[in-house]
Structures are given as C-alpha cells and as structure tokens.
C-alpha cells in the first residue's frame, strides 16, 4: 500500500504528515486567490480612475443621466472624476474579474484530462504543478510592479497570463491527494487538504497587514502610500507558491506514471475486451436512465433550485469581489484592513460547518437554506439602514455563518431531485449554475455600481439576490434524501 498510496500507512490508516505535505500545493494556490480579489480590484480601480478616456466617457454618462448624477453627488462623490457619479470603472472591473472564472470553466477541465494522460518520471500531476506554480508566481509578483508604471494594457496582459497559468495546474493539484490516497481514506484526506487551503487563504488575507506593519517599523508610518505595500504582498504569495511547489517536488512521492503506461500496454488485449463490455453496459445504462425521466414536479423543482443557486452565488460573489472597494469608499479602510474583515467572514463560515450540517439533518435542508438566506439578507440590510460601524462587524460574523448554512445544504438538495442514478448529471447542473453566477455577477454588479454611484449599493444588491434566491427555493418541493456519504464523495471530486 505504501508504494502505491503515498498518503496511507502500511496498516491502512491515513498518514497525516504526508497528507499535509501533499496539501502544500493547494495551500499555494489558495494564498494567491486570497490576495487576488481584494488587491487586483484595487489596482484596477486606481488604473481605470487615472484613465483620461474613462473620465471622458463617465462625464458623458453623467450628462446623459443628470438625475443619477445628482444622486451620486448627494452621496458625496465628485462627479467630475472617473470614479465619481455614473462611472464605467466598476463595470470594467467586473468584466476583468470574471476572467478567472471563465478561464477556470474552459481550461481547468482540459488540463485535468491532460494530466490524466500524462506519463512521466514525476507522475501524472506534478509536471503541471512544477511548471505552472513557478510561472504563476513570477507573473503574480510582476503584476503590482507593472501597475505602478501606470500602464493599464500591460497590467492586463500580466493578469490574463497569470489567470491562464493558474488554470493550468489547479485541476492537477486538486487531483493529487485522491491519486495518493485509498478511496476509504479520501474523506479524511480531503479534510486535511481543505485545512491547508484554509491556512493559505488566511495567510493571504493577513499578508497585507503584516507587510504594512513591517514597512511601518522599517521606514516609519506615514512615509509610504498603501499602494507601495502591494508589491511585497504579492511577493509573499509568490514565495509561498514556490515553497509549495518545492515541497511537492522533493517531499511528495507520486508514482512514475510511465510504469502505468507500460502496464496498460501489456494489458491492451484484456483492456480492449473490457472496454467493449463497458461500452455495451453504458448503452444499456443510458436506455435505463432515459426511462427514468423526471416528473413534471421534479423538473420544476430542479429549474427553480438552479435559479435559486444562480441568484445566491450572484450575491456572495459580489461581496468577495468588491468588498475591498466598498471598505475603502464607505468605511475608509485600506486593502489590508479590508482583508482582515473578510478573514473574519471566512473564519465564521468555517466555524459554522458542523452546526450547519446538524441543523440540515434536524429540520431539513430547504428550511436550513432559507433560514441562512434570511439571516444573510437581514444583517446586510440592517447595515444599510443604520450605517453603523458596529453593525458591519455583526453582518460579517452572522453573514459568514449564514453562508455555510446555505452552501452545506444546496448540493444535497440538487442531487436528491435527480436521485442516486443521476448524481453525476445533477452535479454538473449544480456547478454549471454556480460558475455561471460567478461569471455574470461581477458584470451585473458593475452595472449596478455604475448607475448607483456608490459601493454602498453592494449591501442592497446582495440582499436583492438573496430575496430572488429565496423566492425560487420556496417553489422547490423535492430534495431531502441523498445520503451524506455520496454528497461528501461528490464534493471531494469537485474541490
């Protein structure tokens, strides 16, 4: 077992030390994305606001819609600047921030399949990681330095290249642990991998605070601008990415996949016969599945559940994408301070995982989701009406917990509508709905921000999305009985 399964002991138990070492790859990618959202939006905001072209276009919009321009002016905005009034800046930010999701949908499955077929001394997955992680780290470290030159086109080139190279090794790094762990231990292994990812995200969220504190001690507070810290924050993420790659290269033993290729060749005749039998079995299975069509009520439940998921993820994605800009404009926070606030949200989300699963079993998944949505919506609207600094912290704590009450129970609900025989198909539906929302939401909210003239609209936009999600989920009448073991296995395959 040891030769084949690196993450298992000879007695069949999980080797926690080796599993943690395997998780360094996922930790490396997690820290990059934790830094990416708040800091890239800030970089783009600065570059777009400095653009004379954007300023001219925004001025024309304010002339065309004077009522909205007056509303923005009443909020304290300078409508003569690119960032003031009805501005195209948030829209362009939203479009650019969808690139990582678009690239993920297009390229991650492709590189995942390529890694399945890779035959090398380093194994199937590590060649993609050993190449992709250092290139991603280099591009990531360059982005803030390029942005400091003031060149928007060149910064965009580096952002696009970074997002592409990250999609190159994302699927292989996620597939590494299941490759090295027996099926019976993958649930435990997945918990360790997710913990490593959480550690990476937390490091990324706190990197700005640490860098700011170090620079303050080194050159004195007030002697540098916030933007001056960005290169060192990105450099922190890049260094950890390279460390993660080196750990996988030298401390993780993935089997030589060339040996598997030889074995496959030697068994070609048997494999061909087996493939033929499997093909016939699949044909019979497809015929059986067609005979098990959803009822009219089940189809209705599926459509409304997927619509509810779409609106839900539209609301949560806007928060993660634009919160740093909201914190700067409305709360007067730096990006580093904003990431501390989002780290509190993330910690509360993680802490609510076990209670959320328990409540879902106790009162039902649909009711638990609706309670989570109601709480999420209520605390965000409470902040809009009070504008209290104390309430924003309450909103992040309760909103983070509510987020887990929702997300833990949505996939099981979708799977049960289709039943055990269609788990794969309905998993695909689930991820199609959520990825579609993550592509659409930054653009949709960008338009909302453009027309509203203030990032305070984020705390109206998200509750509106949650209300639409609730209305859709109220219509759902099916989906409460897929065993947790199957749900857990599906999540492991798609994490």
- Assign 3-class secondary structure to 250-316: HHCCCCCHHHHHHHHHHCHHHHHHHHHHHHHHHHHHHHHHHHCCCCHHHHHHHHHHHHHHHHHHHHH
Q: Contact at 8 Å (CB) between 75 and 453?
A: yes
In whole angstroms, give the CA distance from residue 68 to residue 75.
11
Tell me where in the chain the CATH 1.20.1250.20 domain(s) lie. 1-259, 294-495
Residue 250, CA atoms < 13 Å, CB-side half-sphere: 6
We find that the CATH architecture of domain 294-495 is Up-down Bundle (1.20)
Q: Which residue do the tokens 């990582």 mark?
A: 100
For residue 23, what are the contacts with CB-CB under 8 A and spacing of at least 6?
A: 177, 192, 193, 195, 196, 197
For residue 112, what are the contacts with CB-CB under 8 A and spacing of at least 6?
A: 171, 172, 175
Phi, psi of 386 (to 5 degrees): -100, -30
Give the model's pLDDT for residue 118: 74
Q: How many CB atoms lie within 10 A of CB 240?
A: 22
We find that the CATH architecture of domain 1-259 is Up-down Bundle (1.20)
Q: Contact at 8 Å (CB) between 9 and 178?
A: no
pTM: 0.75
Give the model's pLDDT for residue 265: 46
pLDDT by position in tens, the chain (length 495): 344 677 777 777 888 888 888 889 888 988 998 899 889 999 998 898 888 777 777 777 777 777 666 666 665 555 555 455 567 788 888 889 888 888 877 887 777 777 777 777 777 788 888 888 999 999 999 999 999 998 999 999 999 999 999 988 877 887 777 778 877 676 667 767 777 888 888 888 888 888 888 888 888 777 778 888 899 999 999 999 999 889 988 888 877 665 554 445 455 555 565 566 556 555 655 554 554 566 677 788 888 888 998 999 999 889 988 998 898 888 888 888 888 888 888 888 878 877 877 787 788 888 888 999 999 999 999 998 988 888 899 999 998 888 888 877 777 777 677 665 565 566 667 777 888 888 899 999 988 888 777 888 899 999 999 999 999 988 887 655 545 555 566 555 555
For residue 479, what are the contacts with CB-CB under 8 A and spacing of at least 6?
A: 301, 305, 365, 366, 412, 413, 414, 415, 416, 417
């Amino acid at each position: 077992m040891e030769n084949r399964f690196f993450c298992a002991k000879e007695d069949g138990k999980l080797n926690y030390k080796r599993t943690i070492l395997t998780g360094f790859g996922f930790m490396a990618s997690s820290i990059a994305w934790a830094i990416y959202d708040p800091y890239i939006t800030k970089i783009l905001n600065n570059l777009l606001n400095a653009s004379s072209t954007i300023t001219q276009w925004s001025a024309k919009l304010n002339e065309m819609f004077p009522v909205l321009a007056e509303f923005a002016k009443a909020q304290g905005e300078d409508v003569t600047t690119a960032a003031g009034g009805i501005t195209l800046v948030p829209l362009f930010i939203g479009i650019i921030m969808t690139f990582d999701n678009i690239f993920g949908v297009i390229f991650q499955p492709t590189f995942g399949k390529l890694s399945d077929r890779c035959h090398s001394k380093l194994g199937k997955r590590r060649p993609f990681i050993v190449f992709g992680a250092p290139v991603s780290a280099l591009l990531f470290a360059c982005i803030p330095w390029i942005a400091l030159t003031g060149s928007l086109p060149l910064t965009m080139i580096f952002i696009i290249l970074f997002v592409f190279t990250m999609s190159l090794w994302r699927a292989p790094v996620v597939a590494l642990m299941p490759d090295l762990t027996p099926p019976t231990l993958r649930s435990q292994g997945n918990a360790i991998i997710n913990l490593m990812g959480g550690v990476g995200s937390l490091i990324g969220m706190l990197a700005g605070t640490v860098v700011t504190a170090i620079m303050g001690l080194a050159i004195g507070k007030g002697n540098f601008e916030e933007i001056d810290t960005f290169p060192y924050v990105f450099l922190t993420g890049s260094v950890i990415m390279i460390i993660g790659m080196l750990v996988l290269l030298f401390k993780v033993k993935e089997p030589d996949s060339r040996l598997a290729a030889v074995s496959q060749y030697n068994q070609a005749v048997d494999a061909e016969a087996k493939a033929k039998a499997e093909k016939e079995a699949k044909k019979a299975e497809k015929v059986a599945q067609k005979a098990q069509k959803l009822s009219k009520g089940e189809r209705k439940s599926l459509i409304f559940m997927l619509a509810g998921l779409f609106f839900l993820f539209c609301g949560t994605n806007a928060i993660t994408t634009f919160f740093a800009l909201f914190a700067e404009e409305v709360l007067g926070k730096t990006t580093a301070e904003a990431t501390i606030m989002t780290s509190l949200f993330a910690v509360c989300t993680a802490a609510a995982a076990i209670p959320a699963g328990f409540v879902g079993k106790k009162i039902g998944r649909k009711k638990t989701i609706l309670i989570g949505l109601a709480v999420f919506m209520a605390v965000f609207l409470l902040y809009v009406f009070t504008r209290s600094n104390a309430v924003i912290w309450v909103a992040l704590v309760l909103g983070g917990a509510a987020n887990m009450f929702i997300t833990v129970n949505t996939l099981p609900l979708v799977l049960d509508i289709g039943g055990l025989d269609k788990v794969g198909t309905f998993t695909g539906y689930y991820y199609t709905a959520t990825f579609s929302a993550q592509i659409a939401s930054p653009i949709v909210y960008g338009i909302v921000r453009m027309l509203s003239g203030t990032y305070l609209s984020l705390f109206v936009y998200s509750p509106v999305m949650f209300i639409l999600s609730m209305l859709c989920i109220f219509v759902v009448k099916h989906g409460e009985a897929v065993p947790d073991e199957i749900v857990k296995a599906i999540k492991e395959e798609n994490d």
